[in-house]
Every structure is written in C-alpha cells, then in structure tokens.
Amino acid sequence: MTPAPPKRRLVVPALTTASLVVCGVGLPITSPAASASPASAHAAAPAPGESELRKRLDALNTEAEKLTERYNKSRVELGKAKQAELDAAKAADTLQAQAAPAREELGRLAAADYMTGGPDMMFAGGGATGLSASAYLAQSRAAAVNRLQAQIDGAVRAQQAAAARTAQVRRAAARSLSAREAAKAKVDEVTRQLDKLTTTTAKDPGTGLSATVKGSGRPAKMARKALSKIGSPYVWAAAGPSSFDCSGLVVWAYGKVGKPGLPHYTGDLFGQGRKVGKGELRSGDLVYFGGDLHHMGIYLSDGKYLHAPQTGDVVKISKLSDRSDYAGANRIE
C-alpha cells in the first residue's frame, strides 16, 4: 500500500497594506492619485488671453518708465559727483602748489640757521618781537606753511568725501540700471507672449512669398486687414473695397481698424505718427519709396512688405531688398 503523501503546511505571507484593504481590514492605503501633488492633480492653469497680457504689459511699461527715469536721475547725479570730485582734487593740487615755494624757503632758512649754529635770537635790532630779521622771517614762513597745510588737509578731506560720494552714486546707478534691465526683460517676455498669441502668416500665391504679421496693436491689425486684399487689382486713386492704389490700400485698412479718415496721399501719410528706423521696422509700419515719396507699402516682417504697385498689377507681397529707392518709414498708432 502506497503511503499517503506528507501533508504540507500552508504558509501565508505577511499581509501588505494593500492586501489588507482588499480584504476589508480597512487600513489606509495611499493611491497614486492621493500621492500626487496638488499641482498635478489639477489641470494646468489656462494661458492668459490677449486682454490680460495687454494689462500686464501696460503695468510693466509704466514700471519700466519709472525705473528708466530713476536711472536717468542717477546718471545725472553721478556726473555731478564726478565733477565735484575733480573740483576737490584740483583745489587740493592748487594748495599744494602754493605751499611748495613756502616750504622750500623755510627749508633754506633752516639750513642757513644750521650752518650758523641756530636761529639768531639777538635782541639788538630785533624789533618788537625781540627776534632778529632772519628768525622773524623763519617764524613767519613756518606760520604760513602751517596755515597752508591746514587748508591742504581740509581740501584732501573734501576730496576723499567727494570720492566716497562718487562711489556711492555709482553703486546706486548700477542698481538702477539692473532694475531697469530686469523690468525691460519682463516687458520683452510679455511682448513675446502677445506676439505668439497674435501671429498671422499669409502666403501670396502670385509671388510665392510668405510673411508673418506679429502684434496686437493697431498697426498690426491694419496689416492683417490689408493682407486680406492680396490679389486685388491696382486702380489709380482707388481706396477699396475691391481695388486700390498704394496709399488707398493703407487708408482702407486703417479705416477697418478704427482709424478712418487718413489722407489719401503718401506725402501727408508720411507726416503722420512717428518716424522709425529701418532696423526698427515692425508689422504694420508704413514704408515709403522715392525722393518724392511716390510709392508706399505696409511692412510685414523679415524684410517683406505688402503694396499695390502699379496699373496692371495687383496687391502683393514683395521684398524690400528689391527696391533701391527706400526713403523711410513711420508708425501710425
């Protein structure tokens, strides 16, 4: 008879916290959701919209202007402090120069006294002081030198104080500059966010050129309106809505973004707003050509502009580099 197999003892492993919960023991268990940080438990905060970014930009620009004026003040004060330091040094040098001859004369008298065995203290002919002429002269020279030395010491102290003031103002100017640069960096960051939020790219099917309009100000909005007219025919003296000449396109686009009534003439348009350098061009700036400003366009980006060129042509994107008669630019807010 085959013996029965030996009985095996069932060993139950130590219960984990998780298994206890499953079994209903009720011990607490930390779930992944519970262990996650509050920040990850909630969806990321929505990115600020254009209105909020513009409010931030206005506040930052105001702060940047204050810091800029504070920096300007510190520069003026630094200039004054430097001048005061120079004046104090000059005064000390002048007094040193004045004292030098008296010191030399005093030295000669002292040397003469030494050679003759000491100052002449004979009373005969010495006058009211009882001193001889040479002794009296030496005493007078010594008193003059002492007075000059006292003035020199005062001038040196003034020079040292002026130098300390210059160093203090220079440190203040450096702090003001640092604060101004930090504020400017914040302005630039919010501006980049606004640009990213309000970026439009368009392609001209006629020329094959693409351009981007960045920004949310009136000039950029005007440029976007004008881009919608790519391919519209050039007609002399026309200002939309279906045909345009060069200045008529600008007048029509500005009218669509809340600035109607601009003059339909390149010369008068050039007198509006403020002038901008070629290296400062932004989307929506107006660019002009010819010494007599006979043509104009709307700058877009990356050296490209939109314009209505001439009879037989259409509104299109072109390159500034194709023109040799660039005359200037302005920005009308």
CATH number for the domain spanning 250: value is 3.90.1720.10
Q: Residue 154: inside a domain, yes or no?
A: yes
Which pLDDT score is estimated for 67? 86
Tell whether 58 and 193 lie within a shared domain.
yes
Tell whether 215 and 169 lie within a shared domain.
no
324 pLDDT more than 80: yes
- Locate 201 and state its tokens: 């790219």
Which pLDDT score is estimated for 215? 84
C-alpha span between 134 and 62 (Å, rounded): 75
Tell whether 64 and 178 lie within a shared domain.
yes
Which pLDDT tens digit goes with each residue over 11-62?
Answer: 444 434 333 333 333 333 343 444 444 444 455 667 777 778 878 888 888 8
CATH number for the domain spanning 160: value is 1.10.287
SS3 41: helix
Q: Please state the separation of Cα 130 from the chain's center in Å.
A: 75
- Mean pLDDT for 169-186 is 87
Tell whether 190 and 212 lie within a shared domain.
no
Which pLDDT score is estimated for 109? 61
DSSP sequence for 164-197: HHHHHHHHHHHHHHHHHHHHHHHHHHHHHHHHHH
- Mean pLDDT for 74-100 is 83
Range(s) of the domain holding residue 239: 200-331
Q: What is the pTM of this model?
A: 0.51
C-alpha span between 330 and 282 (Å, rounded): 10
β 295-301/304-307 pair status: antiparallel
**Average pLDDT of the residues of the chain:** 80
Q: Which of 88, 295, 310 has the alpha carbon at shortest distance from 320?
A: 295
Q: Residue 70: inside a domain, yes or no?
A: yes
Look at residues 197, 232, 258 and tell me which one is the last residue of a structural domain: 197
